[in-house]
Structure 1
Amino acid sequence: MKARLLDTGLHADRPFRVKLVDEYYLNSPFHFHDTCEMVLIEEGYGKRIVGDHIDDFDKGDLVLMGPNLPHIWQNDNMFFQKKKDHRVKATVLYFAPSMVLNLVAGTEAAREVDMLFTKACRGLLIKNDTHRVLLSRLREISIAEGLKKVSILLDIIDLLCHSADYDYLASDGYKNALTTKDAGRFNDVYQFLITNFHREIALDEIAGVAKMSPTAFCRYFKDRTQKSFVGFLHEIRISHACKLLRQDDLSIMNIALESGYNNLVNFNKCFKGITSLSPSEYRKNLRNK
C-alpha cells in the first residue's frame, strides 16, 4: 500500500462531498491531497499522524486539515482481526478551498476564510463548544441535498472562522517537504512503527523497512521530518502511555512495559521530556479534570 497524492473525487461539478465510513478499520495510507478535509471519528480508536504530529485518536476526534498536509489515521491492531465488536465509523468532509473563496470573494469574510485555511495547513483539533456544534452540523450535511448542503458547509466554515476552540497539530512553520515517492516510503515506516512500537526496534530493522542503510535512513528521516528517528519513536510510545494513564487500573510500571519501555527510569525521563510532567503527575492532572 503506497501513499500518494490522493484523488478525493472532487472536480468542477463536485467541489465538495461527504463520505460516510463504516468498516472494520480505516484503510487509507499515509497521503496528502489538494483539498481541505474534515474528519470526525464516530467509533474506533488508534493513532493519527498529521504533518509532524502524532497522537492517539478516539471516539469524537474531530480534525480540520488544509491542502497538501500529509496524514494517516491507523487503528490499533485488534481492529484488523475483523471482530464484530470492533468497527470504525467516521464522517469525512472534503471541499475545495477555491470554491469557498469564490463564494465569498469581494466580501469581508474573504480574509477570514483565507486565514482559516492558512491555519488549517497545520491541522486543527476541534474541541469544546465548537466541537459540540459541529457534530450536529456534520450529521445535517450528510443527509442534506442541493443548496441546503452548500448552506451548511458555509455555516461550518463561518463557525470555524470565528472560533478559538482548537489546538494546532503540526508544529509552527511546518511545510510538507514530501514527494509522492517520499510519502510512500514514510507510509511503510509509519505503519511499521505504529504496529510495533511496543517492542524493541533495531535501527537495522526500521532501515530495512525503508530499504535504506541505517546511516542513510537516519539522515533521510531527519531531513524530511526535522526530527530524529529515535525522538519520533519516543513520541509514539509516550502518546500511547498518555492514553493508558487514563485507566486507573494500570500501574505505571505496566504502562511503561506496554509502551515499549522495560526500564522505569528511562520511561519517566522520556515521558517528562515530552510532556514536561512525570507519569504520576500527568495522571493526577487527569483525575483533577
Structure 2
Amino acid sequence: MKPQLIDINLPGSKTIQIKKLDTAYLTSPLHFHQLCELVWVEKSFGKRIVGDHIDNFEAGDLVLMGPNLPHIWKNDEAFQHEIKEGNVKSTVIYFPPDFLLNLTDEQNILAPTAELIKRSARGLRFYGETSKKVTKILAGMSENNGFKKIIYFLQTMEILSTSQEYKYLASLSFKNQYDEKDTKRINDVYQFLMHNFHRNVELKEVADLCNMTTNSFCRFFKNRTQKSFTQFLNELRIGHACKLIQDESYSISDVCYQSGYNNLPNFNKFFKSITGFTPSQYRKKSKFADSPVGSSPLL
C-alpha cells in the first residue's frame, strides 16, 4: 500500500516544520502522510473529516493527528461567499513521530510523550485550559525564530502529553484502507458531498463520480471508510445541524431543511440516533457546553 503523500517540504526525517497559513480558503484534498500534524485554527470554519470522524471546526480548533491518518478540512459554503486573503489563519506543525523520543534515553521522561503519539493515531481534539495554554504558545511562535521555536514546540508537547482535556476523533476500529487511487476517488466523493449535502443527493450521481455501479460503489465506500454511504451522509448532515442549532435565530424546522432533510420526523430520528439527543435537547445542552461548540458529539 502506497500512501498519497502531500508535499510539505521537510528537508529531513528528524526535522519539525512550523507553517503559518494566511489565505482565502482551505484547498488541501483528502490526504495522509507519515508525520504527526498539530493544527490550530486561529480563523476559519467548516467541516473536518479525520479517519471516520465527521465534525465541524471553527476558530480555536486544536487537533493533533498521527501518521497515516486520512484527513480533510473544508470551509463551509457560507465562508467562501466573500473570498479574500486572510479568511483563513492557522498554524500547522509537522513532526516525525519519533522526534521527541530520540531526544533522551530516559524512559520515564518519555512515557507520557510516547503515549500521546500512540493516542494521536486516532486524532485528538484538545479543549479547555489545555487549548488556551497551547494556542497562546503557538500564537507567539511567529514572533520568534530559531531555537526559541523549538523550545515553544517542546513546551506545547509537554502540555498536550499531560492533558486530560481531549476527545478522540476517529473510532477505535478505524484502519486506513486507502491506496493512492482510492484516496483520489474518496476525495472526489467527500468534496462533492460537503458541497451538496444540503440538497437531495442521488446515490447514482455519487457512484458516477467513481465510474462505478451503485452496488459496486456502496461496497467500495464501506470498505474504505468503514461506514455505509447513507450513514456517512447522515452524519455529515447532522454535524451541520449541530452547528446551526446552536444559533437560536434558526427554528428547528429551518435547521432541518438547511441540513438536507425533507421532513421533521426523519430529521428528528437521525438527529437522536447520531447525537443521543433530540434537536431541542441538544440546543439546550449546547448552552452549557464545557468544550468548544464547534465540535459535535457525532461518534
TM-score normalized by the length of structure 1: 0.95
Matches within 5 A, 1:65-84: 65-84=65-84
Structure 2 partner of 1:42: 42
Bigger shift: residues 18-27 or 73-82: 73-82
Q: Across the two proteins, how many residue pairs are aligned to each other?
A: 287
User: Counterparts of 2:26 and 2:288 in 1: how far apart (Å)?
Assistant: 33
Structure 2 partner of 1:144: 144
User: What SS class does the counterpart of residue 144 from structure 1 fall into?
Assistant: coil
User: What SS class does the counterpart of residue 29 from structure 1 fall into?
Assistant: coil
User: Counterparts of 2:85 and 2:264 in 1: how far apart (Å)?
Assistant: 34
Structure 2 partner of 1:164: 164
User: Counterparts of 2:138 and 2:161 in 1: how far apart (Å)?
Assistant: 16
1:98 corresponds to 2:98: yes
Letter in 2 for 1:52: D
Question: Contact (CA 8 Å) 1:45, 1:56: kept in 2 or not?
Answer: yes
Letter in 2 for 1:120: S
User: Counterparts of 1:83 and 1:194 in 2: how far apart (Å)?
Assistant: 18
User: What SS class does the counterpart of residue 89 from structure 2 fall into?
Assistant: strand
Letter in 2 for 1:159: I
Shift in alpha-carbon separation, 1:83–1:149, aligned structure 2, 3 A: closer
User: Counterparts of 1:234 and 1:104 in 2: how far apart (Å)?
Assistant: 47
Structure 1 partner of 2:10: 10
User: What SS class does the counterpart of residue 97 from structure 1 fall into?
Assistant: coil
User: Counterparts of 2:171 and 2:66 in 1: how far apart (Å)?
Assistant: 14
User: What SS class does the counterpart of residue 90 from structure 1 fall into?
Assistant: strand
Letter in 1 for 2:46: G
User: What SS class does the counterpart of residue 198 from structure 1 fall into?
Assistant: coil
User: Counterparts of 1:158 and 1:86 in 2: how far apart (Å)?
Assistant: 30
Deviations 1:185-204 (A, max 9, x none): 11100000000000011110
Question: Contact (CA 8 Å) 2:39, 2:90: kept in 1 or not?
Answer: yes
User: What SS class does the counterpart of residue 21 from structure 1 fall into?
Assistant: strand
User: What SS class does the counterpart of residue 102 from structure 2 fall into?
Assistant: helix
Runs of 4+ with deviation above 4 angstroms: none
Shift in alpha-carbon separation, 1:25–1:134, aligned structure 2, 3 A: same
Question: Contact (CA 8 Å) 1:10, 1:95: kept in 2 or not?
Answer: no
Deviations 1:12-48 (A, max 9, x none): 2871111111111011111001111111111111100
Letter in 2 for 1:255: V
- 1:111 shift after superposition: 2.2
User: Counterparts of 1:17 and 1:83 in 2: how far apart (Å)?
Assistant: 28
Structure 1 partner of 2:292: none
Structure 1: any 5+ residue segments left out of the alignment? Answer: none
Structure 2 partner of 1:250: 250
User: Counterparts of 2:247 and 2:81 in 1: how far apart (Å)?
Assistant: 24
User: Counterparts of 2:13 and 2:249 in 1: how far apart (Å)?
Assistant: 53
Shift in alpha-carbon separation, 1:54–1:13, aligned structure 2, 3 A: closer
User: Counterparts of 2:113 and 2:11 in 1: how far apart (Å)?
Assistant: 21
1:218 corresponds to 2:218: yes
User: Counterparts of 1:82 and 1:105 in 2: how far apart (Å)?
Assistant: 51
TM-score normalized by the length of structure 2: 0.92
Deviations 1:122-171 (A, max 9, x none): 00001001000001111223333222222211111111111111000000
The alignment-based identity, stated in percent, is 47
Structure 1 partner of 2:113: 113
Matches within 5 A, 1:198-217: 198-217=198-217
- 1:81 shift after superposition: 4.1
Bigger shift: residues 156-165 or 108-117: 108-117
Shift in alpha-carbon separation, 1:85–1:91, aligned structure 2, 3 A: closer
User: Counterparts of 1:117 and 1:173 in 2: how far apart (Å)?
Assistant: 17
Shift in alpha-carbon separation, 1:280–1:184, aligned structure 2, 3 A: same
User: What SS class does the counterpart of residue 93 from structure 1 fall into?
Assistant: strand
Structure 1 partner of 2:297: none
Question: Contact (CA 8 Å) 1:8, 1:33: kept in 2 or not?
Answer: no
Question: Contact (CA 8 Å) 2:65, 2:120: kept in 1 or not?
Answer: yes
Bigger shift: residues 81-90 or 114-123: 81-90
Question: Contact (CA 8 Å) 1:7, 1:33: kept in 2 or not?
Answer: no
Letter in 1 for 2:236: I
- 1:98 shift after superposition: 2.0
User: What SS class does the counterpart of residue 59 from structure 2 fall into?
Assistant: coil
Shift in alpha-carbon separation, 1:45–1:151, aligned structure 2, 3 A: same
User: Counterparts of 1:82 and 1:288 in 2: how far apart (Å)?
Assistant: 32
